[in-house]
Structure 1
């Protein structure tokens, strides 16, 4: 297994894909961290309050929820890319059984997911520092909680991509499907479920993935504004913040994590079952 994992890292760093997708993560995270601190009603609220607010924590959530698509695409090409390049036959022959190959990819891409997560959190924090200053991060514990959630979200999206890529084994289909679902299809589904969105929507894949960070960052921000009880904050405030920064009203972060892990496991198991019997040339 150790040799298989080393081989996967060699494949990753031999081609330019890993940094080609990492660059937009860094740029997008910094931009969201900077510009998000003055976005709409959040910026107005910041101006109206006489105390500093942890607006930079919200932008870490927003940047994460934008950037995870790059981690998912990177993970999807772990297997689908080898099918496109016709190198999957050699991989399976030298790494038999096929389950061991998938396991090695999961280990290697977990490490890459950590790298993507660190770049995202650091760049988003630097952007937030430029936009809101040191006071925009609250206390160090809050920053660690939101940053840790962002790191976890990036790793899980990477692993979901690996499983999905193994399932479809077509790089173009994997890329189009992930982009279309994350930015189009689930939005349409959520719109159709307006009446029951509060009970169904948080359990959809993208909503659950976004909630990993959003359901940590938004309550921290509300507590800074309304106090520990959060009684003074109406539901509408939560819903507006969740709309922009991810998560769902009264939906705990651990529920989002559990739900999304379920999707990750389903795709990995599906990819493993299909790859066991798939013909390769």
Structure 2
């Protein structure tokens, strides 16, 4: 197994995908955190005065000390997770595209061992992406959010851990999707359209027309975003243990502002997205056990 993992690492480092995707990852995470930081720095102005007083009183803080930095961090990290997900697609779909999958399977004791080596290797890559994304988002947040509105040290460590967990699961999700589809182009296009457009439309329609406020908390993109975003939502009493008397509309708006509409809590989002990841990874695993590679 050790030799298979070394082979996977060397195989990845000889391609341009790992650093080619890391560049837009840094830029998007930084710019989204920078933009949302500028907006949410004056977040109390976007809430009704009664809502603001109710939230701050329940949290036991002054209005000007709302931890809006968490909201900027959430959006920066959430947009960044799309790139390790795409990177994961290359793990198997890229090999089918380049016709190297035959060599990979024939040089391993069995296909299960080859896939396990890929999974372990890309878990490491997912963690690396997580650290980079959190760092870029943190820089964008610090540059635009007042010091009194930044997360506490404990919250920042929580975001770091949640960010690494999110990017690791996102990478495995990408591997599973690519393993099922076997096409880099098809997987990436489908993934991007669904994650960035289609699901957001479904969530808005579900909330605005069907009053399904929880829909974003069970779909793949919403649960992935909720791993980090729900930490910000919980800090405002809009997820986890909610503020008593907070109406559903304000709660959903707060969740959306945190990047986690419909999220129940960060750990619930993590468990639900883990289930989605295992579903696609399991489908990819099963599809590649007996698939013809000649």
TM-score (structure 2 length as normaliser): 0.86
What are the equivalent positions in structure 2 for 1:17-166 lying under 5 Å apart? 17-39=17-39, 43-45=42-44, 51-166=64-179
Report the alpha carbon displacement of residue 21 of structure 1 after superposing the two structures with TM. 0.6
Distance 1:215 1:229, change over 3 A: closer
- Aligned-pair RMSD on alpha carbons? 2.3
Once residues 250 and 8 of structure 1 are traced to their aligned partners in structure 2, the CA distance between those partners, rounded to angstroms, is 35
1:213 counterpart residue number: 228
| Structure 1: 4+ residue segments shifted above 4 A | 46-50
Once residues 12 and 181 of structure 1 are traced to their aligned partners in structure 2, the CA distance between those partners, rounded to angstroms, is 26
Contact 2:222 2:262 in 1 (8 A): no
Give the secondary-structure state (helix, strand or coil) at the position aligned to 1:95: coil
Distance 1:273 1:196, change over 3 A: farther
Contact 2:123 2:172 in 1 (8 A): yes
Once residues 204 and 249 of structure 1 are traced to their aligned partners in structure 2, the CA distance between those partners, rounded to angstroms, is 10
Report the alpha carbon displacement of residue 94 of structure 1 after superposing the two structures with TM. 0.5
Once residues 146 and 155 of structure 2 are traced to their aligned partners in structure 1, the CA distance between those partners, rounded to angstroms, is 15
Once residues 2 and 39 of structure 1 are traced to their aligned partners in structure 2, the CA distance between those partners, rounded to angstroms, is 48
Contact 1:60 1:150 in 2 (8 A): no
1:187 counterpart residue number: 200
The superposition leaves residues 169-205 of structure 1 with CA deviations (integer Å, 9 ceiling, x where unpaired) of: 1111111111121122223433443425224431111
User: Which 5+ residue runs of structure 1 have no aligned equivalent?
Assistant: none
Contact 1:60 1:147 in 2 (8 A): no
Deviation larger for 233-242 or 175-184 = 233-242
Report the alpha carbon displacement of residue 46 of structure 1 after superposing the two structures with TM. 6.8
Distance 1:263 1:109, change over 3 A: same
Report the alpha carbon displacement of residue 7 of structure 1 after superposing the two structures with TM. 0.7
Once residues 267 and 183 of structure 1 are traced to their aligned partners in structure 2, the CA distance between those partners, rounded to angstroms, is 19
* Aligned residue pairs, count: 276
Match of 1:203 among 188, 201, 218: 218
Give the secondary-structure state (helix, strand or coil) at the position aligned to 1:197: coil
TM-score (structure 1 length as normaliser): 0.90
Contact 1:128 1:136 in 2 (8 A): no
More helix by share: 1
Once residues 181 and 5 of structure 2 are traced to their aligned partners in structure 1, the CA distance between those partners, rounded to angstroms, is 22
Give the secondary-structure state (helix, strand or coil) at the position aligned to 1:39: helix
Match of 2:260 among 247, 252, 260: 247
Once residues 246 and 80 of structure 1 are traced to their aligned partners in structure 2, the CA distance between those partners, rounded to angstroms, is 30
Report the alpha carbon displacement of residue 233 of structure 1 after superposing the two structures with TM. 4.8
